[in-house]
C-alpha cells in the first residue's frame, strides 16, 4: 500500500481496499458457499485444501488460493500453510442454518448490478428490457428460491423484533401482502393466538410457503392466496401488513397500490414495514445502500418519513404512529383510513 507523507494510507488505497475490493470478496464468498466449503468444514478440525478440493471435486490450487485470501480477510482460519477451518464468521455461510448463506448466493442481483451504468444513464432498472427483475426470477427457479430465502433471512433480521413488540390491537385478521413465504405473518400470529391471517404473493412464493415448515399452532390459522396485489380484490381482513413491498415500487405505483387497497380490501389499518431514511444529510443509515439496490433491481426507492406521509395522504391513508428498531433501523408505519 502506498502511504502519504504523514504515513497514513492514501485516499486511493482506502477506496480500493474498502470499496473496489468488495467485488472480489463477495464473489469469493458466493463461490465457497455454493461449493459447500463451510458445510464440509463444519465445526470440526482443520482440513488440508487438497482434501477439501478432492471431496468437493474442484481444483485444489484455485480453492487453496481463494481460502488463503478469505482467511486473510478474516473469514476462515488458516491454521498452517494450506490447512483451513471455519471461524464463527464462516459458519454463517453454512447452508443448514447459517444466517448469511442465502444472501451471499444472490445471483440475479449480482447480474443486475453489472448493468448499473445503464441504470444511471436511463433511469430504468436493470433487466427492464427483459421484462424486469421478478420476471427474471420467474424464468430461473434457482435464483427465485435463493431470493425468497435471502428475503426471509434479511427481512426477518430487520423486522422480527419490531413486529413482535408491535401493538396489533383489535386487528383480528391480517393480510400479509407481498409476504413472500410468510415469515412475518408467522412472527405476528405466533405471538397472538387469537389472530388469523392470509398470505398473499405471486404463485411461486405461495407454493413455497405452503410446503415449508411453520411453527406449531400457526399454519392452521393461515390461508394462502396467489393474487396480484396491484389488481385483484383482497380477501376479507381488518389489517394489511406490507413489509419491504413499497420500496419495490416508484411513487406513482405506491399510490396506485395503496389507493387500490382502500377500494379492493375491507382493511381499515395498514402496517407498513420499511426503512425510514433520515432527514439529516449526515446520519449513516442502512437504507441509503438499500435504496440503490431498489434503484438497480426494480426501479423502487427507500423514503423519508415526509415522503411516506405525502404518499399515504395522496392514496387516502393517514400515518398514525411510526416505531423503529434502534438496532436494525427497520420501522413500522401504522396507518388508518383518512376521512
Ligand atoms: C422484497 S419481497 C418482500 C417479501 C416479504 N414481505 C419480506 O419482507 O421478506 C416483495 C414480495 O412481493 C411479491 N410481489 C411482487 N409483485 C407482486 C404482485 N404484483 N402481487 C403479489 N406479490 C408480488 C414478490 O414475490 C415478493 O415476495
Domain locations in the chain as residue ranges: 11-105, 150-337
Q: What is the DSSP letter of 166?
A: S
DSSP labels, 50-93 = HHHHHHHTS-HHHHHHHHHHHHHTTSSEEEETTEEE--HHHHTT
d(CA 335, CA 247): 17
Q: Is 118 a catalytic residue?
A: no
1 alpha carbon to ligand 1 midpoint, in Å?
45
Grid coordinates of 300: 423502487
Sign of CA dihedral 57, 114, 285, 311: negative
Digit-by-digit pLDDT tens for the chain (339 residues) are: 455 556 676 777 766 666 667 888 999 999 999 999 999 999 989 999 999 999 999 999 999 999 999 999 999 999 999 999 999 999 999 998 888 999 888 888 888 999 999 999 999 999 888 888 988 988 999 999 888 889 888 899 999 999 999 999 889 999 999 999 999 999 999 999 999 999 999 998 899 999 999 999 999 999 999 999 999 999 999 999 999 999 999 999 999 999 999 999 999 999 999 999 998 888 889 999 999 999 999 999 999 999 999 999 999 999 999 999 999 999 999 999 997
Grid coordinates of 151: 428475503
200 alpha carbon to ligand 1 midpoint, in Å?
8
What is the CATH topology of the domain spanning 11-105?
Arc Repressor Mutant, subunit A (1.10.10)
Is there a common fold for 11-105 and 150-337? no
Q: What is the ipTM of this complex?
A: 0.99
166 alpha carbon to ligand 1 midpoint, in Å?
22
The hierarchical CATH code for the domain 150-337 is 3.40.50.150
d(CA 9, CA 7): 7
Of 47, 183, 184, 247, which is the active-site residue?
A: 247
User: β-strands 239-243, 222-226: how paired?
Assistant: unpaired
What is the number of the ligand 1 atom nearest to the C-alpha of 180?
27
The ligand 1 site (C-beta within 6 Å) comprises 134, 151-152, 155, 178-180, 184, 201-202, 205, 228-230, 243-245, 248
Give me the residue label for grid cell 387516502: 316
Amino acid at each position: 500500500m502506498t502511504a502519504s507523507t504523514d504515513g497514513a494510507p492514501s485516499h486511493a488505497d482506502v477506496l480500493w481496499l474498502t470499496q473496489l475490493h468488495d467485488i472480489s470478496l463477495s464473489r469469493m464468498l458466493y463461490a465457497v458457499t455454493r461449493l459447500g466449503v463451510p458445510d464440509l468444514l463444519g465445526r470440526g478440525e482443520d482440513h488440508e485444501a487438497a482434501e477439501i478440493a478432492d471431496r468437493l471435486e474442484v481444483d485444489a490450487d484455485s480453492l487453496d488460493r481463494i481460502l488463503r485470501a478469505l482467511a486473510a480477510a478474516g473469514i476462515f482460519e488458516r491454521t498452517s500453510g494450506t490447512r483451513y477451518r471455519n471461524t464463527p464468521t464462516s459458519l454463517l455461510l453454512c447452508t443448514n442454518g447459517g444466517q448469511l448463506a442465502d444472501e451471499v448466493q444472490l445471483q440475479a442481483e449480482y447480474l443486475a448490478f453489472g448493468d448499473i451504468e445503464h441504470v444511471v444513464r436511463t433511469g430504468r432498472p436493470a433487466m427492464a428490457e427483459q421484462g424486469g427483475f421478478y420476471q427474471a426470477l420467474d424464468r430461473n427457479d434457482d435464483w427465485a428460491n435463493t431470493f425468497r430465502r435471502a428475503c426471509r433471512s434479511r427481512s426477518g433480521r430487520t423486522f422480527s423484533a419490531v413486529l413482535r413488540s408491535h401493538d396489533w390491537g383489535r386487528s383480528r385478521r391480517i393480510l400479509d401482502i407481498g409476504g413472500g413465504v410468510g415469515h412475518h405473518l408467522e412472527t405476528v400470529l405466533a405471538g397472538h393466538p387469537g389472530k388469523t391471517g392470509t398470505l398473499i404473493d405471486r404463485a411461486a412464493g405461495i407454493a413455497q410457503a405452503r410446503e415449508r415448515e411453520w411453527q406449531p399452532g400457526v399454519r392452521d390459522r393461515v390461508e394462502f392466496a396467489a393474487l396480484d396485489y396491484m389488481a385483484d380484490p383482497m380477501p376479507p381482513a381488518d389489517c394489511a401488513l406490507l413489509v419491504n413491498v413499497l420500496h419495490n415500487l416508484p411513487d406513482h405505483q405506491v399510490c396506485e397500490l395503496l389507493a387500490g387497497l382502500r377500494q379492493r380490501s375491507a382493511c381499515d389499518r395498514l402496517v407498513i414495514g420499511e426503512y425510514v431514511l433520515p432527514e439529516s444529510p449526515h446520519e449513516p443509515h442502512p437504507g441509503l445502500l438499500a435504496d440503490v439496490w431498489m434503484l438497480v433491481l426494480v426501479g423502487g426507492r427507500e423514503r423519508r418519513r415526509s415522503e411516506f406521509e405525502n404518499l399515504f395522504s395522496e392514496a387516502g391513508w393517514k400515518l398514525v404512529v411510526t416505531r423503529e428498531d434502534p438496532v436494525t433501523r427497520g420501522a413500522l408505519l401504522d396507518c388508518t383510513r383518512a376521512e
